[in-house]
Each structure stands twice: as structure tokens, then as C-alpha cells.
Amino acid sequence: MKLSLPKKVQIHEVVLRDGIQNEKKLIPTEEKLRLIRELVACGVRRIEVSSFVNRSLVPQMADAEALWERIERRRGVLYSALILSEGGLERAIRCRVPHVGIFVSASETHSLKNSNKSVSEALKEAVRLIDMAQDAGMKVRAGVMNAFGCAYEGPVPVHRVLKLVRAFKKRGADEICLADSSGLANPLRMEDVLARVRGETGEMELSLHLHNTRGLGLANVFSALRQGVAIFDTSLGGLGGCPFIPGARGNIATEDTVFMLHEMGLKTGIELDMLIEAGLPLETLLGKAFQVFASNLKRPPS
């Protein structure tokens, strides 16, 4: 039986936001700028540059304005930022950010820990932010965190996810993103949730933000590909993880995701060797080896 899979897959690189936000060693602005340049050079066309958050709470994002002021905005590359509040959105508007992500958790417990708001309160705020962003001429990616389960609450009923998706669609979001924030998805759960969400979104762009907590990240990518999803958040070196979720290991690794997609004959537009090389200085700076299989292609045997 021949599988019907997307011919081309887009990588939404999140290493500069989700990937490094919890790292203790501060990444210099110059290193971030280098990484952005090299990601673009190797073919990455979607990059999450930063989030606009409290500088004292997330020191890695303290240079957001400086970074946006200095990046070389290349035609055909989508530069994005994560927005959590009205103040953050106002900062993004001043920086002429063209694309923002606005997320709400489907888990009450996580929502309270992450934003100190109930899901209904967070949704009300998100809708207001979406309107403000669109009024400012921004494209909006509206997302549902813990769409496949929550480390605190366990399985999340799909109707909670669908309620948020409907609200985002009604506000005219340009893209819907489902986040496996706790890394609890499995391929069958992925298939079921995506099928039901597709029933609500129709032809809207749908993307996934997957974590690899239980080692099922790439299996979930394959399941999502079978459902027609062609945009995936990934992080160089598999870095990242939500600070408010116990045991939430990093994102699926960009290197391994691209390697798997290419082995399957799918196009990403990314040069894998260049991508691996782009991450090596960051690996050295952080002082730890990235736990990705594809990187072994560039290392001599021990």
C-alpha cells in the first residue's frame, strides 16, 4: 500500500527560543545572530527568533530587541516570536515582528502554573492578543499546549482542544499549532486528535510542536505526516523543554527529523551536513554533546 505523504515538509526551528530558554549559560547575541545566518544559509525557512517575556525570569530572552534590530531579514524566510502578554506584543510590534505565536494550554493545572490563569481566562487574553496582532499587520499562529496529554492531569479530553481550536479559527488565526508540551503523545493518539482537529480546521495550515519525553517524537512525526501535517517545530540538538512541566525533555531534534524525512524521500530544502555544522559551535558553547543520531554522521568514530 502506497502512503500519501506531503511532498515537502517545513521545519520551524525553535532552538533560539524553546531550545535555550532554560539553559543556564547565557548565549551571546552574536552567537544567536551567527546561528540565524547559518540556519538560513542551510535552507531553514521558518525561525522562532525569541520570545518577549520578563527579562529577569528568562534571562536568555533579555536581548530580544537587540536581536530583532540586528537580524538580516531575508526574503522568503519567516521570522517569528512567541507572545505571552500584551506588554510582550507591544514590544514585538515596536520591533516590527511579522509573525507571532500565541498559545493557550488545554490543561487547567498547566495553565495556572504557566500563566497564573485558568484556561478560560487565558483564552480570553489570547483572543484579545490575536486581534491586536492582526490590527498591527502581523500573521498569527495560534496554538494549543498539552493537546495530547498533560504531565499533571494525564489524558486531556479532545473536546477541550477542539474548543480552543474553534475559538482561534473564529478569530481568523493564520495557522493552528498543536503542542505536545508534556511529550505524552503516541502515534495512535496523534492520529485520532489530528483527524478530529482537521474536521474543525479544514484547509487551515496545521503545525505540530512535539517533545521527545518518552522517545516517541519521530514516531509521532510519521503519524502526523500520514494525516497531512507538513510543518513541524524542531530544535537543534533536541534542546528545550517546558520549565513548568516535570520531566518534559527537549523538542524533537532538527537534525534527526531532517535526516528521517530525507531518508523517506521527502523534501525539506535543508542541507543536512550544513545544518549539523551550524549547531556545532552552540554545542561547544553549552559544553554538552547534543543527543542526536544524525550528528554522528559528522563525528569521527571514538
Residue 266, SS3 per DSSP: coil
CA distance linking residue 97 with residue 43, whole number of Å: 21
CA distance linking residue 256 with residue 118, whole number of Å: 36
Grid cell locating 143? 496554538
Residue 40, SS3 per DSSP: helix
Supply φ then ψ for residue 80, to 5 degrees: -130, 165
Residue 133, SS3 per DSSP: helix
CA distance linking residue 224 with residue 147, whole number of Å: 14
Active site residue 242: yes
Strands in the chain per DSSP E: 10-13, 46-52, 78-83, 99-105, 139-145, 175-180, 205-210, 231-234
Residues of 147-183 as b/e, b for ≥16 C-beta within 10 angstroms?
bbbbbbeeebebebbbbbbebbeebebebbbbbbbbb
Which of the residues are catalytic?
242
